[in-house]
């Protein structure tokens, strides 16, 4: 098995790479289930007591597990990956990403079932979207099997970090960035894929309480032919000003309108949007379609579209105007709305406010259809409902 040897003229490469990137030390090993990853077990793993204490911290994304995976792309090829202690990367100030933002990421989760099994949820969807994001940003595509191998290796190694309390999981964050130290505005000659993990509970500090949305007419998230469908860092950077505006208005998240007509709802800063029209078995779920290329194709969104039909609701992927939402609210047919994503799972929307006025939904607790979908989706993920679509990948 090849171990990466830091090569070439070091003035032109990122001087970031701690010893984990260099020659394979004596304690390292490869595992037959992930042959493209050399494992260097950290000598500083948290003790079970420390880990338990950290697992009790419920603030999203604030605690990290013992290890991480890194895979370099250099000389036109993906190299042997390394699994080693979670720790900082040291970057040259000239690292291209820091200037021109060639950076993409993903988010998926590992769940612990009551029988001790650990699974991930539809990781191949994230692998494909990671590759699609890379294509859009002129970055090299990590093959699907290498993406999944990295996830499997990290979750297997850090399985003790997968929490067991209801609603918790180990959030997995794969990312890739241009690592060449160069000020040239061009695709880099070196990229690093990093994968690390964070035990999480609810994404929103308010837990599962409905969130308040602010419809911005000041900012747009994405324009046709831009990068809206890619999970790239720049989309999130560009959302922060509108997010601050939402906070100022007493809201939790922004609901964006389309860039051209400022008429159709698109998505939130980091979640997709669903509205529920009518109640009970005649309920219709509507969500913006993906044709404009400005929305992120959420894995949770896709799963909900499937599960909603199974629960007997009709689903529609089509443009939804803010005016339609307002008149559905006025005539009483808008019953519920929810946000969805890996981090947010399914979170009820309590209100939608903007310069037009306010739509007030279930402000205190989520509605029955939002709840039913959550129970179904989270039930599959957590192993309490049958995995009828083979969405779960057993890790250990």
CB of 342 to ligand COI, least distance (A): 3
Query: DSSP states of 3-26 as a string?
Result: -----S-GGGS-TT--GGGSS--T
Which residue number, 246 or 334, has a Cβ lying nearer to ligand COI? 246
DSSP class of residue 83? E
CB of 252 to ligand COI, least distance (A): 12
CB of 236 to ligand COI, least distance (A): 7
Which residue number, 343 or 392, has a Cβ lying nearer to ligand COI? 343
Q: Which run of H or of E encompasses 155?
A: helix 144-157
CA distance 170 to 356: 40
Q: Judge contact between 204 and 137, C-beta under 8 A.
A: no
Half-sphere exposure for 385 (CA within 13 Å, toward CB): 14
Which residue number, 216 or 342, has a Cβ lying nearer to ligand COI? 342
Q: Which residues bind ligand COI (CB under 6 A)?
A: 107, 270, 341-343
* Helix pair angle (368-382, 299-310), 10° resolution: 110
Give, in degrees to the nearest 5, the angle at Cα 81 between 1 and 162.
125
Q: For 190-332, where are the alpha helices, taking DSSP H only?
A: 233-237, 240-248, 299-310, 322-330
DSSP class of residue 100? H
CB of 127 to ligand COI, least distance (A): 14
Cα 248 from chain centroid (whole Å): 26
CB of 343 to ligand COI, least distance (A): 3
CB of 270 to ligand COI, least distance (A): 3
Q: Judge contact between 294 and 266, C-beta under 8 A.
A: yes
Which residue number, 343 or 382, has a Cβ lying nearer to ligand COI? 343
CB of 198 to ligand COI, least distance (A): 10
Which residue number, 270 or 350, has a Cβ lying nearer to ligand COI? 270
Residue 174 burial (CB < 10 Å; 0-12/13-18/19+)?
buried
Which residue number, 16 or 132, has a Cβ lying nearer to ligand COI? 132
CA distance 379 to 396: 19
CB of 126 to ligand COI, least distance (A): 9
Among all residues, whose Cβ is closest to ligand COI?
107
Which residue number, 139 or 343, has a Cβ lying nearer to ligand COI? 343
Which residue number, 103 or 343, has a Cβ lying nearer to ligand COI? 343
């Amino acid at each position: 098995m090849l171990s990466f040897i830091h090569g070439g003229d070091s003035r032109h490469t990122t001087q970031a790479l701690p010893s984990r990137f260099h020659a394979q030390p004596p304690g390292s090993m490869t595992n037959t289930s992930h042959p493209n990853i050399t494992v260097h077990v950290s000598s500083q793993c948290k003790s079970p007591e420390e880990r338990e204490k950290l697992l009790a911290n419920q603030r999203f994304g604030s605690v990290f597990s013992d290890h991480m995976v890194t895979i370099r792309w250099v000389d036109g090829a993906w190299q042997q990956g390394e699994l080693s202690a979670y720790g900082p990367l040291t970057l040259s100030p000239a690292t291209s990403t820091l200037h021109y933002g060639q950076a993409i990421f993903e988010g998926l989760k590992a769940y612990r079932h009551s029988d001790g099994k650990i699974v991930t949820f539809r990781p191949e969807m994230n692998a494909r979207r990671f590759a699609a994001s890379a294509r859009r940003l002129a970055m090299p595509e990590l093959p699907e099997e290498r993406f999944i191998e990295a996830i499997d290796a990290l979750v297997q190694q850090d399985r003790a970090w997968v929490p067991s309390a209801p609603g918790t999981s180990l959030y997995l964050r794969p990312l890739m960035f241009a690592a060449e130290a160069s000020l040239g505005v061009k695709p880099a000659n070196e990229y690093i894929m990093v994968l690390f993990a964070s035990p999480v509970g609810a994404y929103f500090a308010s837990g599962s309480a409905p969130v308040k949305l602010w419809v911005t007419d000041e900012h747009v998230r994405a324009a046709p032919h831009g990068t809206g469908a890619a999970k790239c860092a720049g989309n999130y950077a560009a959302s922060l000003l509108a997010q601050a505006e939402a906070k100022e208005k007493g809201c939790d998240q922004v609901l964006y309108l389309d860039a051209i007509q400022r008429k159709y709802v698109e998505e939130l800063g980091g979640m997709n949007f669903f509205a529920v029209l009518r109640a009970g078995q005649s309920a219709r779920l509507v969500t913006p379609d993906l044709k404009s290329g400005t929305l992120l194709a959420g894995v949770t969104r896709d799963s909900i579209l499937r599960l909603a039909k199974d629960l007997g609701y009709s689903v529609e992927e089509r443009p939804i105007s803010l005016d339609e939402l307002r008149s559905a609210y006025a005539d009483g047919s808008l019953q519920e709305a929810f946000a969805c994503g890996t981090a947010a799972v399914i979170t009820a929307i309590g209100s939608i406010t903007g310069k037009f006025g306010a739509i007030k939904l279930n402000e205190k607790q989520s509605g029955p259809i939002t709840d039913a979908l959550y129970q179904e989706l989270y039930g599959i993920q957590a192993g309490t409902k049958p995995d009828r679509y083979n969405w779960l990948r057993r890790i250990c």
